[in-house]
Structure 1
Amino acid sequence: MAALIVTAILGFGLTRLEFTTSQDNYLNSDSRIAKDNVEYQSLFGGEAMITLFTVAPGSHTADLFTPRNIAQFRKLQRDLDADPHISSVITPLTALEFTDNLVRGTGGDPLTSPAAKMLLGAQARDTDRDSADRRLADSLRTLARVQAVPVAARTLGNPAWIDVLLHDNTGAIRKSLRPFFPSTSTAQMITRLTGNASLREQGDGAHVVERAIAGETFDHASVLTTGSPVLLRNINNYLRGGFLTLGVISLALMAGLLLAAFAVRFRLLPLAVVAVGLIWAFGLAGYIGVPLSVVTIAGLPVLLGVGIDFAVQLHSRIEEESQLDRRGHPVAAAWRGLRRALLVATIAAVLSFCALQFSEVPMIRDFGTLLAIGLPVIVIATALLLVLALDTSERHRPAPAGDYTHGPLGRTIIRLGGLPQITAIPLVLASVAIFAGGIVADGRLTVQTDPEKWVNQDSQVIKDIGILRARAGSASELGVFVRSPNVFDDATASFVGQFANRQLSTHSADLVDASSLVTIVSYLLEVPNTSIVMPTGQDIRAAYAVAPPDIQRSTVNLDMGAMNIVLRTGSGSLERRAAVVDDIRTNTHPPAGITATPSGLAVIGTGLVASFQNNRTQLTYYALIAVFVLLLLCHLSLVRAVLSLVPVLIAVGLSSLIALAIGVDLSPLTAVSGPLIVALCTEFTTLLIYRHLEERARGRGPREAAETSAGRTGRAFAVSALAAVIGVGVLAFSSLPLLRDFGLLVALNVAVALLSALVVLPPLLVWADEHHWVHRGSAGTTPGGTPEGASTAAAAGPAVSAGARIVPQKR
């Protein structure tokens, strides 16, 4: 009844679990990048949804502006602007309307237009007379093109007028319009969602845009809508559905393993009690507020595998005491023999998981918190419920006598640990060499820093982003917001124009184009083979005055004195994008009073990579140090502590060597798997050493104690290790490469950890024990609490051989 009540209370905490993919998962909320991004989105809106219009073969972008399409563009503008999830909408028609407003003069006279005044002003400021003459000639050609279209025909429904607005005097798309017309066959609508929106609000905003587009068809064009909000929404949907799917797969595989390999009574009992423990663990996580992200959901199969590992060890020991030693109270005897080893192994695992708290990435810290909280809860649930169930069964129906020590699992474990003592010193040296090799290999491993590679490559959103990038040249952006006391002064206009030109020139391989109110005017003033002349503050003010409201909102925030620059980025890793961001921060020197701050999703990604790589390797070292100190305190023996860590060093070193050998790219999750390997391998070595000490306390010699330990625990070790492998290996069923690679690599590493413990530790134990460095004879106590040199049952009566049942003594 108590267990049911606790399960009900903690189970309610499951309803409080939150799934999140916000920037708080990637960056500390008090970091500079996080604060900058919050400020940027409050100024100019959030992430962008991109709608790509691809004209039919034989057509051009100018053919998009049929009367029907123009009406649909206007309808989209009205509908989306009216939705609270939308900050601004710039359709291809909006971009052309802005150019039309710049070119159109009073009463049809183009010489009175804002564009004409800007061009004449640039010509007057050009100090190179030849350059100024070329400017004048180009302006006259533009004037001739404008006047060739009758005033009454200068409408957006007239292809001739569209040609004047869309193309420059060379016939190419105007540079100022390329962010919206990337090529002669494509056009883009940029819908920016509300800034600093929650994940659910971003998903709702993405749905709004998709529904609006889905209800429309356009003449001469196909339509595709995608963007980072769609990618984030799909990840969130996977978190909600995949979380339960992974749990069901884990349970099914664990059940199959226990039924096939764990030959005891009530084979599925460990699975049942661990399932209850998982409810307790995740319910407690819900109350505490541990968020479930793309990383922390990996905690479910990991905790299931590790929990089954502990439950199998306890269950097997109870069966051993009942079948082999015929204890009168096998559950109590098993608990006395195993409790200290389980306690030390649990604390060691928790300390290893706590090492993740030193990570600079919040979602990695959350992963460590979930494991550090969840494992003790599961162990407590396992100890209480498993002991209770088996004790009740034993009282009503004792287990029949049996001997499984000569079975295939027991014989296999004995053979694995049967290396001669002469190999002890070489094994120690090999462990150091492998660990050192792992350190070298770790520095050569490639970390996958392209977020698009972390998700299902067969998903529709990835395919759509690929199409967008292939046709438009870009599928992402880097934002920079400029603060100035007066956004319409000459200093600000000159700085923004020069800044954009410098970035596009310096990072031509990474940046496609720039879009801002200043660049629109600056590109208007560019003429081939002339000097670069920056626009004046008055030019920018005049452009702002005739800009459509959505372009005003997305480019200038007058209330906060800020101006927006959007740099479209090409394909490439976050590391390359980080180089661009670093260059902006290091080599940008605005005039006094003006600041330029890179921000947006791309900068968050670069911040994630920097935070992740800063101390990724150190996390494993922290786990090793913490575990070593714990073992030293628990054993009060330097030799035992060192022996426990030798297989751990081999497992940690081999994990990096294997990853390098098979050429796997590390993800942010896979690369911090070191503490997990330390936790699992330390558990194996702790259980083996404590069992060896227990057998030595019963009077067996070093070699006999090692073989007895292997024979009696072989079944449990094999099943528990397979459970741990399946626990993390089930992530290989995930459609997210981020989780799939983690599952495959860590499952392989867990298998290596087990083999290291079973192959390396026994000969080392025997060798050290022969030198009287492990077992202290009559001094001290056994792990069960009885004097060393005596049987764990000696407190109740004389030692008995296997197969005899203890008869309680009358007092």
Structure 2
Amino acid sequence: MRFFRMIGNRIEKTPFKVLLGTIVIFALLIAGAVKVNMATGSETLVDVKGDAYISNKLMEENFGGDSILVLFEGEKDELLAIENIEKMWNVEQRFKYEDNIFSFMSTASIVHQMTHRQSVMIKDQIVEISEGLGEISTKLTDVGTELASKDIKDPKVIEEKLEGLSDVTGAFGKLITGQNNLSQGASQLQGGLFTASEGLTSASGQLAQLSNLAGENQELKMKLNAISENIGKSAEGLMTMSNNTANLKVGADNTAKGLTNISSQLSKETSEMKEGLTGGINPDELKEMAAGFVTIGENLGDISEGLGVFHSKSTMMVANIPTSQEELDSILYDEDLNLRTIFDDVIVDDTHNMMVVKLQGNLGDEYKDLIYADLSTALDNEGFENVSFIVSGKPVLDSSLRSEMKSNMMIMVALAVALMFVILLVVFNIRWRVFSLGIIFVSVIATLGFMGTMSVPMTMVSMAVFPILIGLGIDYSIQLQNRYEEEKSVSITLAQIGKSVAIAVIATVLGFISLYASPVPMIKDFGKMLTIGVIISFIGSVLLLMPTLHIRDTFGEKLKKTTKYDNGRETRLDKILKSTTRFVLKYSIFIIIISIAIAGFGFSVDNKIGVETDIETFMPQDMAALSDIHEIRDIVGSTNQMAIYMESENILTEENINWIDGITADIKDQFGDKVVDVKSLSTLVSNMTEETLAFDEYLDITADIPKEQRKMFLSDNGDKSVILLNVSHMSTEELQEFVRELKVTVKGAP
């Protein structure tokens, strides 16, 4: 009481100093209002020191944060037209150097990744071609040099000698004729000898018969027998000669045939050699040819060196989107005209395409809002032909919610002020009764500024603090103003009522401090704002209201006699309050019992109250951003994503990859009704090839995956990875149950 009397005396002695000093302090507080930021992220729902928040922060540092979704809608031919793909690529290029964007994924970006890969292959082949041409150049030069050093005979001289060789075949003809004649003569001789042999044999036989007729003439008989025997022996000799003459004929025939074959082959070979030499290269022409080989080799060497230079400078060449529809279609479709599986994530169906802009992790709301605005502007400026688009996603939803919070907060404050203005006019019958409302309004703004200075964010809960502060602050200030109007003294007013009002403020503050026990950060922030706001409102009521009223009555307006303020007259409100007081006193026991019973019942069922953390339920259900995300969810199947975050010394071991593949399959089988899609590093590998791979081949393909895609699932140093789950929209209870079951499923990771 003494403390408040001292304050009252100081105000009465130096009202201007007190008022000016308080205005300066409040002005400094109000200046901090520009630093207040709207917060709608996970940090408003989860303790930043908790394991869930810390692990999510680490995951976002390595694999990015929330994604902005752009859904393109149109006919298939229009969506995949080269003009619109180029426009998508132009949008991505506008944000090429934006540090706050983690990755872009769209039809255009995947097409570019494929053309980039092709360009790398071409550059590698250029090296091989250059080396091959260099080797050919060396060999051609060597051949040319070798030919130039050889002494080659003139083909005409050789041809003349071959003509001489042809004359030899005439000699072969004479030999063949002689052998044929010899064969014929031998045949005739064989016949004559055979005939003579037979004649002599017959004569021998007849002489033998004549010897038998000689009778007793032994001498004649012996001579005839002797002659017969000699003739027989001569016949045998002639027969032997006839048989030997047959062998002579065969030999002559064989010799003739052999000579004929030799003559024919020699003639053929000679003719072919002559034909080969006809029009042949003379030594001068051959030397010219050798010089040509050397020149070609040198030129090929120059081309090889040029290709080498081209490859060394090829880093300055950048792959781009194809320039023709035919080239684009060859990238989009395979040989069977089926869409390549690598585009499954961005080409939803025949009439819808997706662009996913993944932001850097742990990004501030102001940067998210800036990227969203710039992206929307870039899309509008491209002027897509016959294609419409929707920009949505959690960052867009949060941005729209923050804008809605700002506008709704102003509406709430305006309504609270207007309602309090009416109440003050109707209920209180004192001078300047609306002035208290101005004091409290300034106190509320000062509270907002103090929040900005202390970096306390404005959340969906804490924005409700202002109507509460207006109501509580008016209660304090109007009590002080009412008593001042009765006492006409600041010191007496504060001495009599200051302590009771201060006790009421302290009691209120203690109630608000209990909110600090909540594990939810935005509830704690709500308690902080209420605590700070009540104290500032009380200070404003004392140090702004009281000096102003004292200055008014001392130096300014005097009470006009024509104006009557009968503070002693009983009003209708007084009568209602008096009747209520009498009723409470009369039935106090029953009222206490009923109050305790209601409180006990409420306490008993308190644990049955559900907890709602779905941000979409906090938003106006007719908000455009909410309708957009619902539309995308209906088409795509899911806009909510969960991540299984993994750490290891080396993710790319066969054991780890097998576990990732196995757990991915288990999640699809076990949670098929809740999980729309599951993606991991193996998803990217399977998009590159449909073949069953050995582990070494798996690693090779992983290394070939474009960095923009690979970094979404594997950290740069290979010690962290994620499995991304696109889940259907679930209630809080369903989501909690799903998380519990999922933890059991992934338990036992290597």
Counterpart position of 2:255 = none
Counterpart position of 1:783 = none
Instruction: Go from structure 1 to structure 2 and tell me whether the alpha carbon gap of 1:276 and 1:216 turns closer, same or farther (over 3 Å shift).
Output: closer
What letter corresponds to residue 329 of structure 2 in structure 1? G
Instruction: Go from structure 1 to structure 2 and tell me whether the alpha carbon gap of 1:211 and 1:480 turns closer, same or farther (over 3 Å shift).
Output: farther
> Helix, strand or coil for the counterpart of 2:696?
helix
Q: Residue 352 of structure 1: which of 502, 507, 511 is its match?
A: 511
Q: Contact conserved, 1:480 with 1:565, CA < 8 A, in 2?
A: yes
> Helix, strand or coil for the counterpart of 1:255?
helix
Q: Contact conserved, 2:332 with 2:339, CA < 8 A, in 1?
A: no
2:67 matches 1:48 = yes
2:178 matches 1:12 = no
Q: Residue 310 of structure 1: which of 450, 472, 476 is its match?
A: 476
Query: What is the alpha-carbon distance in structure 2 between the residues aligned to residue 154 and residue 403 of structure 1?
Result: 91
Instruction: Go from structure 1 to structure 2 and tell me whether the alpha carbon gap of 1:548 and 1:410 turns closer, same or farther (over 3 Å shift).
Output: same
Counterpart position of 1:511 = 675
Counterpart position of 2:356 = 190
Cα drift, residue 590 of structure 1: 4.5
Counterpart position of 2:451 = 285
What letter corresponds to residue 592 of structure 2 in structure 1? V
1:255-274 equivalence runs, <5 A? 255-274=421-440
Q: Percent identity?
A: 22
Instruction: Go from structure 1 to structure 2 and tell me whether the alpha carbon gap of 1:266 and 1:94 turns closer, same or farther (over 3 Å shift).
Output: closer
Counterpart position of 2:659 = 495
Cα drift, residue 19 of structure 1: 0.6
> Helix, strand or coil for the counterpart of 1:488?
coil
1:733-772 equivalence runs, <5 A? none
Counterpart position of 2:333 = 161
Unaligned runs of at least 5 residues, structure 1: 108-151, 169-173, 528-532, 593-811
Q: Residue 555 of structure 1: which of 713, 731, 743 is its match?
A: 713
The CA deviation string for residues 324-352 of structure 1, in whole angstroms up to 9 with x for no partner, is: xxx6x665554444233212211110000
- State the TM-score, normalized to the length of structure 1: 0.59
> Aligned Cα RMSD in Å?
3.5
Counterpart position of 1:85 = 100
Cα drift, residue 295 of structure 1: 2.5
Q: Identify which range, 12-21 or 432-441, moves more after superposition.
A: 12-21
Q: Residue 533 of structure 2: which of 374, 388, 401 is its match?
A: 374
Cα drift, residue 540 of structure 1: 3.7
- Which structure is richer in relative contact order (CA contacts within 8 A, separation 6 or more)? 2
Q: Contact conserved, 2:79 with 2:351, CA < 8 A, in 1?
A: no
What letter corresponds to residue 433 of structure 1 in structure 2? A
Cα drift, residue 523 of structure 1: 7.9
Query: What is the alpha-carbon distance in structure 2 between the residues aligned to residue 468 and residue 302 of structure 1?
Result: 38
What letter corresponds to residue 19 of structure 1 in structure 2? N
Query: What is the alpha-carbon distance in structure 2 between the residues aligned to residue 426 and residue 53 of structure 1?
Result: 66
> Helix, strand or coil for the counterpart of 1:456?
coil
Query: What is the alpha-carbon distance in structure 1 between the residues aligned to residue 445 and residue 437 of structure 2?
Result: 12
Query: What is the alpha-carbon distance in structure 2 between the residues aligned to residue 501 and residue 288 of structure 1?
Result: 49
2:688 matches 1:541 = no
Query: What is the alpha-carbon distance in structure 1 between the residues aligned to residue 478 and residue 544 of structure 2?
Result: 13
Q: Residue 727 of structure 2: which of 556, 559, 569 is its match?
A: 569
Question: Whose helix fraction is larger, Structure 1's or Structure 2's?
Answer: 2
Q: Identify which range, 496-505 or 440-449, moves more after superposition.
A: 440-449
Q: Residue 547 of structure 2: which of 377, 380, 388 is its match?
A: 388
Instruction: Go from structure 1 to structure 2 and tell me whether the alpha carbon gap of 1:71 and 1:304 turns closer, same or farther (over 3 Å shift).
Output: same
The CA deviation string for residues 77-116 of structure 1, in whole angstroms up to 9 with x for no partner, is: 4333333232111112444677899999999xxxxxxxxx
Q: Residue 588 of structure 2: which of 424, 434, 449 is its match?
A: 424
What letter corresponds to residue 55 of structure 2 in structure 1? D
Q: Residue 741 of structure 2: which of 577, 583, 595 is its match?
A: 583
Counterpart position of 1:38 = 57
2:390 matches 1:232 = no
2:369 matches 1:203 = yes
2:498 matches 1:339 = yes
Query: What is the alpha-carbon distance in structure 1 between the residues aligned to residue 446 and residue 726 of structure 2?
Result: 47
1:31-180 equivalence runs, <5 A? 31-56=50-75, 60=76, 64-95=79-110, 155-158=327-330, 161=333, 164=336, 167=339, 174=341, 178-180=344-346
Cα drift, residue 294 of structure 1: 2.8
Cα drift, residue 404 of structure 1: 4.7
Counterpart position of 1:118 = none
Q: Contact conserved, 2:429 with 2:565, CA < 8 A, in 1?
A: no
Counterpart position of 1:365 = 524
Counterpart position of 2:311 = none
Q: Contact conserved, 2:679 with 2:724, CA < 8 A, in 1?
A: yes
Counterpart position of 1:454 = 618
Cα drift, residue 434 of structure 1: 0.7
Counterpart position of 2:141 = none
Q: Contact conserved, 2:652 with 2:718, CA < 8 A, in 1?
A: no
- Structure possessing the higher radius of gyration over alpha carbons: 2
Q: Contact conserved, 1:19 with 1:236, CA < 8 A, in 2?
A: no
Instruction: Go from structure 1 to structure 2 and tell me whether the alpha carbon gap of 1:436 and 1:225 turns closer, same or farther (over 3 Å shift).
Output: same
Instruction: Go from structure 1 to structure 2 and tell me whether the alpha carbon gap of 1:163 and 1:460 turns closer, same or farther (over 3 Å shift).
Output: farther
Instruction: Go from structure 1 to structure 2 and tell me whether the alpha carbon gap of 1:35 and 1:553 turns closer, same or farther (over 3 Å shift).
Output: same
Instruction: Go from structure 1 to structure 2 and tell me whether the alpha carbon gap of 1:156 and 1:482 turns closer, same or farther (over 3 Å shift).
Output: farther
Instruction: Go from structure 1 to structure 2 and tell me whether the alpha carbon gap of 1:200 and 1:284 turns closer, same or farther (over 3 Å shift).
Output: closer
Counterpart position of 1:672 = none
Counterpart position of 1:408 = 572
> Helix, strand or coil for the counterpart of 2:91?
helix
> Helix, strand or coil for the counterpart of 2:712?
helix
- State the TM-score, normalized to the length of structure 2: 0.63
Counterpart position of 2:200 = none
Query: What is the alpha-carbon distance in structure 1 between the residues aligned to residue 388 and residue 582 of structure 2?
Result: 69
2:44 matches 1:25 = yes
> Helix, strand or coil for the counterpart of 1:406?
coil
Cα drift, residue 358 of structure 1: 0.8
Instruction: Go from structure 1 to structure 2 and tell me whether the alpha carbon gap of 1:554 and 1:470 turns closer, same or farther (over 3 Å shift).
Output: same
Query: What is the alpha-carbon distance in structure 2 between the residues aligned to residue 414 and residue 27 of structure 1?
Result: 48
> Helix, strand or coil for the counterpart of 1:418?
helix
The CA deviation string for residues 572-626 of structure 1, in whole angstroms up to 9 with x for no partner, is: 234433333333334313443xxxxxxxxxxxxxxxxxxxxxxxxxxxxxxxxxx
Instruction: Go from structure 1 to structure 2 and tell me whether the alpha carbon gap of 1:536 and 1:577 turns closer, same or farther (over 3 Å shift).
Output: farther
Q: Contact conserved, 1:49 with 1:209, CA < 8 A, in 2?
A: no
Q: Contact conserved, 2:392 with 2:625, CA < 8 A, in 1?
A: yes
Unaligned runs of at least 5 residues, structure 2: 1-16, 123-323
Counterpart position of 1:467 = 631
What letter corresponds to residue 469 of structure 2 in structure 1? L
Cα drift, residue 443 of structure 1: 3.6
Q: Contact conserved, 1:255 with 1:268, CA < 8 A, in 2?
A: yes
